[in-house]
Structure 1
Amino acid sequence: MAGLLVEDREDAVVVHGRSELQWLTHLVKCHEAELVELERLNRYYEGTQPLSYMHPELQRELEDNVRQVVINWPRLVVDSIEERLDVEGFRFPGKVESDNELWRIWQANDLDEQSQQGHLDALVMKRAYVVVGTNADDETTPIVTVESALDMYAEHDPRTRRLVAAVKRWSVGEGQDQVDYATLYLPDDTIWWVKQKGGTWLEDADHPRDNHNMGELPVEVLANRPRLKARNGVSELADVIPLSDAACKIATDMMISAEFHAMPRRVAFGFGEEDFVDQNGRRMSVWSRVAGRIWATSKSRKDDGADVMQFPEASLSNFHSTINQLAQLTASLSGIPPHFLGYSTANPASADAIRSSETRLIKRAERKQRAWGGAWERVMRLILRIRDGEWSDDARALETIWRDASTPTVAQSADAAVKLFTAKIVPLRPTRERLGFSQVQIQRMEELDEQAANEVMQRLAGGDVTPLFGTKPAPPPAAPDPEPAPDPVPEPVGAAGGNAA
């Protein structure tokens, strides 16, 4: 495999006082220093962390008999936030609807799935990265990939707080055949590298460098909770890990107690091994002696001194109350409702109380949407720059459209949206967005609206005014003709009373 030393290239550049090779070795060293912590955080999310708070001697003694009970609260805390982070489109300034072209590029790069994975990794391992590059097969659709912090590292400029350099690392093969590769991202160049057997990095001649001359990196960072002095973010698990370790320790202790103390323990006096046999005279196993319900023997207390005692079994309620207390602490620190952690009270919470308990979780999700919305908008600007060859002024004010992070009922959402639309406070399209319809569904609805409007115009052009005034109401039914009165009956002669003169 051919390679060139950076010092041998005439076009080698210096960025912020470092050469290309110096940037590569510096970033690789910084990444190696963080890998141990990142892998530890990843194990906690996967539920493969080691057992804590147990004496090593006791752990060695029980290793063959007792396994760790993992209560994976870290995954629950992360997933509860990530499930409320769904990008639904991008809107240019002054536009009501989302941009179809940006959404096409989003879908072509499978960013529905990749964005979810990036949000998840950022919550767990402090950050994730988004890389934009050219597409040789389709110049109108740049390639966008979301990268893990386990594979990538970037450094910020302390003056501008923008990325000044980044590296992505990967390996091909295993053992003696393993080859290490790296991609170095600089403001005007993207360079591919390969590591030799002696540990020297050489520029990969099979991948010519990309002199894009954009003036900034084609990389963006999805940092979780970045701070002014911690631009790379903080893991969402920082406050949860100690409580999760304590819960796993208590749950494991509970299983040990269930093994040795939760069942009644018996002690027998005056018996030998020959007394523990079944009805066929075969010797019983140790477990049968412990768990057997009925013991029978011909020995007596008076003559043989035989006796059997039973110790009271241990209650496990103290473990239950400790785990419930840890669950409440986890809920208070992470902002998730206590019922997410299985904590319940004697009186079930009402629907309003449940929604109220989700307020902090919803606010946290909305904070993530605001921070990561800006990162995705910068990614869209990079996409337009790579596609068009120039920066778009309109893209500087892009808006990321997120799905509502709250969980109202369908009836509540529909009622609120219809009232706002009826009062002419919100137009029709934002009303449909508020109801949770996707951009594709809204576009189909608008097509049906336009089709119905065209049909009305065609009917009006033909002289049919029914669409304007509705159908003519039917006349009321005619009243029936009155029945003729019956003829009077003549009175009989002399019926008036009295005698004739």
Structure 2
Amino acid sequence: MTPEETVSYLDAKLLKAQRRLRKLDAYYEGEQPLRFLALELKQEFGERLAELVINWPEMVADAYEARLDLTGFRFPGSTSNGVDVDEADADVWGIWQDNDMDRQAPQAHLESIALGRSYAIVGARRGLDEGPAVDVPDPFDEDTDSPLITVEHPTQCITEQDPRTRQPVSALKRWKDADNVQRATLYLPDSTRHFYRARRWVEADRDKHRLGVVPVVPLVNRGRMLKHDGRSEFASVIPIADAANKMATDMMVSGEFHAMPRRWALGMSREDFEDEDGNPVSPFEQIAGRMWAHSKKPGEVAVGQFPESDLAVFHNTIKLLGQLAGQLSGLPPHYTQFTGDNPASADAIRSSEAQMVKRVERKQTGLGADWRRVMAIALRIRDGEAWDKRVRRMKVVWRDASTPTEAQAADAAVKKRQQGITTLRQARIDLGYSPEEIRRMEEEDAAERASDPVREIALGLAGGGPTVGGPAGGEDVDGAG
């Protein structure tokens, strides 16, 4: 296909996907329409019937995203293309921080979990050699040669994959600018082309990058062999959430008309009901606190009260639906159930989180491969040389997906270090310190040793002191945390 035909094809594919994506986005935002509610009831109450949304989809997505904390990149071995591995790790992490990925990556993870996928686009920063195109340069872009990495929403970006390699062969980002003109960027293995739409897509500019790959990486959640676009983490919870919202709304309606005692009167007519100003009031109006009345034989008057209704049936149903939602989403019981006065023990909580932790570790493995590809493209764009083959084996370091206490994690790290199982650097990695924090600690260790040689000898005799300049010990960090 020609570039124009490719743009039109990807544009149609994006439009088709947007309907499903917007539905999922509405569920995450709690803006979904109320289902299972009788049309007659809607017509009866009109705007007075407010929807009560129990936003379980948002809770599911946020619970998984909160455990996806990327803390660094680790090259294997001691050198990378002749560069010390510590410097190589710091170099990649510098690109990450130059692009504010500490903020962008969680957004990409959340969209991937909620909508099934998100995207990362890598490109060169414009104007770094010739000077910025604006009068006032961005101070954050002045002194960096890092490529530009952005994360993209799936309603604005789409890819076409090679059925053999399962990697993108073309990608499209489409948006509207401030002038309400539709614009699109087409990403191909050899070039990036910019289009605007008049009556058809018209090419306005192009950039020959000749990377050999499309600089767009999908971040897919729960992808399958024949369904590469991924699946929302709360897709199976949607029917349960709809049922819970319906029951919650019914509970509020029942609370309005049945939970409060209703009075009735016989032998009284409409004319017998007046307000404080003498104006007639309808006794048949269905609002809480009003009286139901009906005429009887003259002179015979009887008044009474209907018994109030118990709302426990709604409470129990919502609890049951919460249990079903927890089972389908893999969330532990204390996320979706009502807790009592006696909370579960720490061991019971960790045991109940086993399924969720394993699912998060699976996501870390998949997302780690995607971020590794993003950083490989970034290094290739920045260096302009051959691909660094060692990047293929670079590990992405994640924070532990489980929830051990800080004391437990420290105790385990210290015991491994004392038994010689891990190095001091690896112990610090296990405790979740970032590469920059570890590097600063090692510099402070060296300064303390230089100022206190007696302490150095004592630590050496005890076998517990770190070896400055020794093996990094972190090349076997598991990318799954």
TM range (shorter): 0.7 to 0.9
TM-superposed CA distance for 1:359, in Å, is 1.1
Name the counterpart of 2:22.
Answer: 39
Displacement of 1:65 after TM fit?
Answer: 1.5
> Equivalences for 1:230-269 in 2 at 5 Å?
230-269=227-266
Could you tell me how far apart the structure 2 residues matched to 1:276 and 1:51 are? 38
Deviation of 1:31 after TM superposition, in Å, equals: 0.6
Q: Is the 8 A contact 1:276 1:289 kept in 2?
A: no
Q: Give 1:267 deviation, angstroms.
A: 1.3
| Separation in 1, partners of 2:348, 2:409 | 18
- What is residue 424 of structure 2 aligned with on the other side? 428
Aligned pair in 2 of structure 1 residues 285, 397: CA closer, same or farther (>3 Å)?
A: same
Q: 1:106-156 CA distances to partner (integer Å, 9 max, x unpaired)?
A: 111111111100000011111001000011344721000000101000011
CA RMSD between the two structures: 2.4
Aligned length: 432
Query: Residue 191 of structure 1 is aligned with which of 193, 196, 200?
Result: 193
Q: Following TM superposition, by how much is the alpha carbon of 1:347 offset from its aligned partner in structure 2, in angstroms?
A: 5.4
Give runs of aligned pairs for residues 80-479 of structure 1, distance below 5 A. 80-95=63-78, 97=86, 99-138=89-128, 140-173=145-178, 177-196=179-198, 199-204=199-204, 208-277=205-274, 291=289, 304-344=299-339, 348-390=343-385, 391-457=387-453, 468=457
Give the match's secondary structure for 2:361.
helix
In 1, distance between residues paired with 2:434 and 2:442?
12
* Cα gap change, 1:45 to 1:288, in 2 (>3 Å): closer
**What's the secondary structure of 1:187's corresponding residue?**
coil
- The answer to whether residue 25 in structure 2 is matched with residue 27 in structure 1 is no
The one-letter amino acid paired with 2:43 is R
Offset of residue 288 of structure 1: 12
State the alpha-carbon separation in 2 of the partners of residues 56 and 292 from structure 1.
Answer: 26
Relative to structure 1, the CA distance from residue 467 to residue 424 in structure 2 (aligned partners, 3 Å threshold; closer, same or farther) is: closer
Decide whether aligned partners of structure 1 residues 467 and 244 sit closer, same or farther in structure 2, where only a CA change above 3 A counts.
Answer: closer
How far did 1:352 drift?
A: 1.3
Amino acid in structure 2 at the alignment position of 1:248: N
Q: Percent identity?
A: 46
Kindly indicate whether the alpha-carbon contact (under 8 Å) linking 2:157 and 2:174 is maintained by their aligned counterparts in 1.
yes
Deviation at 1:338, TM superposition (A): 1.8
> Would the alpha carbon gap of residues 468 and 111 (structure 1) be closer, same or farther in structure 2, given more than 3 Å must change?
closer
CA contact (8 A) 2:34 2:242 kept: yes
The correspondence for 1:65, drawn from 48, 52, 55, is 48
Cα deviation, 1:315-371, whole Å, max 9, x if unaligned, reads 100000000000000111101112212433675422211121111111111111000
The alpha-carbon distance between structure 1 residues 218 and 278, as it changes in their structure 2 partners (threshold 3 A), is: closer
Deviations for 1:263-306, whole angstroms, at most 9, x for unmatched residues? 1112111123454357786766868996279x9xxxxx998200
How many angstroms apart in 1 are the aligned matches of 2:53 and 2:151?
Answer: 30
Q: Deviations over 1:24-54 (max 9, x none)?
A: 1110011111111000000000000000111
Compare CA radii of gyration and give the structure with the larger one.
1
Q: Give the SS at the match of 2:244.
A: helix
For the residue of structure 1 that corresponds to 2:235, the secondary structure is coil
Give the deviation of 1:395 after TM superposition: 1.3
- Contact 2:257/2:287 (<8 A) preserved: no
1:63 Cα offset (Å): 2.4
Q: Whole-Å Cα distance in 1 between the matches of residues 350 and 103 of structure 2?
A: 28
Evaluate the alpha carbon distance shift between residue 166 and residue 260 of structure 1 in structure 2; reply closer, same or farther with a 3 A threshold. Answer: same
Shift of 1:181: 0.2
Kept in 2, the 8 Å contact 1:68–1:248? The answer is: yes
- Mapped partners of 2:216, 2:288: distance in 1: 65
Distance apart, 1:195 and its partner CA: 0.3
Secondary structure of 1:304's aligned partner = coil
Distance 2:171 2:413 in 1: 45
2:346 aligned partner, one-letter code: A
Contact 1:164-1:187 within 8 A present in 2 as well: yes
Which residue identity does 2:425 align to in structure 1? R
Counterpart AA for 2:3: E
**Cα pair distance change 1:257/1:183, threshold 3 Å:** same
C-alpha displacement of 1:308:
0.8
Distance in 2 (CA, whole Å) between partners of 1:212 and 1:303 is 96
Task: State the distance in 2 between where 1:290 and 1:153 align.
Answer: 53
SS at match of 2:207: coil
- Residues 170-217 of structure 1 deviation map (CA, whole Å, 9 limit, x = unaligned): 1023xxx52100000111111000101xx211101xxx3111111110
Whole-Å Cα distance in 2 between the matches of residues 69 and 284 of structure 1?
A: 31
User: Which amino acid is the alignment partner of residue 240 of structure 1?
Assistant: V
TM-score by length of 2: 0.85
Structure 2: distance between partners of 1:87 and 1:290:
54
Asked if the contact 1:266–1:290 (Cα under 8 Å) also holds between the matched residues in 2, the reply is no
Contact 2:257 2:288 in 1 (8 A): no
| Residue pair 1:129, 1:148 contacting (<8 A) in 2 also | yes
1:169 alignment partner, SS class: strand
Aligned partners of 1:130 and 1:219 also within 8 Å? yes
Unaligned regions of 5+ residues in structure 1, if any? 1-17, 296-300, 458-464, 471-501
TM-score by length of 1: 0.82
- Going from structure 1 to structure 2, the CA distance change for 1:48 and 1:278 (only over 3 Å counts) comes to closer
Q: 1:483: which partner in 2?
A: none
Matched AA of 2:154: A
